Amino acid sequence: MNFLVTGGAGFIGSHVCERLLLLGHSVWTLDDLNPFYAVALKERNLAALEALGRPFRFVRGDLADPSCLEPLFADVRFDQVIHLAARAGVRPSFSEPALYHRVNVEGTVNLLESARRHRVKKLILASSSSVYGINAKVPFAESDPVFAPISPYAASKLACEALGHVYHHAYGMDIAMLRFFTVYGPRQRPDLAIHKFARLIDAGQPIPVFGDGGTARDYTYITDTLEGILACTRQEFGFEIFNLGESQTVKLNDLIALLEKALGRKAVLQRLPPQTGDVPLTHADIGKARRRLGYNPKVGIEEGIALFAEWFRSSPPS
């Protein structure tokens, strides 16, 4: 099949492209290579994909500019689109809320419109656990009300979910919305906690700890997230939302201890006040994904951190 993967130069996107190529599919990726983090890391991911010697093409373009999409859709008959491109990060979204809206919301509209015009029926769109906000019910289920996001990033992802439903309802498009829960592993973005903390611990520099370290996250290893995405490519849903998490929570203090053990170095902690937009807890109810997708996460946090540390030790400096 012909797949378009947006954001394919990034962390999750490069893993998705790699797996699709190894499965024998043809893959195009659209990415703007923005400097949110080092472009060299994204170029390294693209070089690894090209080195596979499979049918892969990289197209540089900004989803917020619809003119980059029309020639691509006109030239290739895509069977499916996996939309992972976005401006990411809760805290940075407070500094540039208009940018997050433009890229995440307008970019998604442009992609959906191109898919509609060129009769691409099936799309898989990345959402985020951040749409749950400060959810009183734990674990978080797809049926929970999500009307109170607490960051511009979360609001943009919630808008994308609504747009996905509109295009399913109005045009019959088959759309799966995937709420990712703190994905980590090889190639993880350097601004995310696990990668950032590992780098600082390894360098003997202080790591910023916002609050008392009691916040907890549902950390999900990249191979488990990848299996959930690929399961969606093999089915039709109409319109469905799925949590892709590990369904286990880890407190920040415990995460730091696991990194210390894996890296063999003690962390220097810099205690700071809690940050606006941070939620105290994320915890995925994955019952629906288990039933509908056969989703079954296998990599627990201790094994995952050890695997991440192995990759971190062997990878070039970021």
How do the domains of the chain map onto residue ranges?
A: 2-314
Model pLDDT, residue 177: 98
Active site residue 219: no
Question: Considering the entire predicted model, what is its pTM?
Answer: 0.96
If phi > 0 it is left, if psi is from -120 to 50 it is alpha, else beta; for residue 277 that is left
Q: Which residues pair with 284 in a beta bridge?
A: 140
- Mean pLDDT taken over the chain: 96
How does DSSP assign 97-135, residue by residue?
HHHHIIIIIIHHHHHHHHHHHTT--EEEEEEEGGGG-S-
Q: How confident is the model at residue 318 (pLDDT cuts 50, 70, 90)?
A: low
Work out whether the CA dihedral 61, 65, 66, 71 comes out positive or negative.
negative
Catalytic residue among 37, 100, 132, 153: 153
Query: Is there a contact between 248 and 290 (Cβ–Cβ < 8 Å)?
Result: no
The interaxial angle of helices 107-117 and 152-171, nearest 10 deg, is 20
Provide the CATH number for the domain formed by 2-314 in this structure: 3.40.50.720
User: What is the tens place of the pLDDT at every residue in 48-73?
Assistant: 999 999 999 999 999 999 999 999 99
Other Cβ atoms within 10 Å of 180 Cβ, number: 23
Condensed to tens digits (0 to 9), the pLDDT of residues 89-141 reads 999 999 999 999 999 999 999 999 999 999 999 999 999 999 999 988 999 99
**pLDDT tens for each residue of 191-216:** 999 999 999 999 999 999 988 889 99
Residues 23 and 55 sit within 8 Å (Cβ to Cβ): no
Centre a 10 Å sphere on the Cβ of residue 132 and count the other Cβ atoms it contains.
30
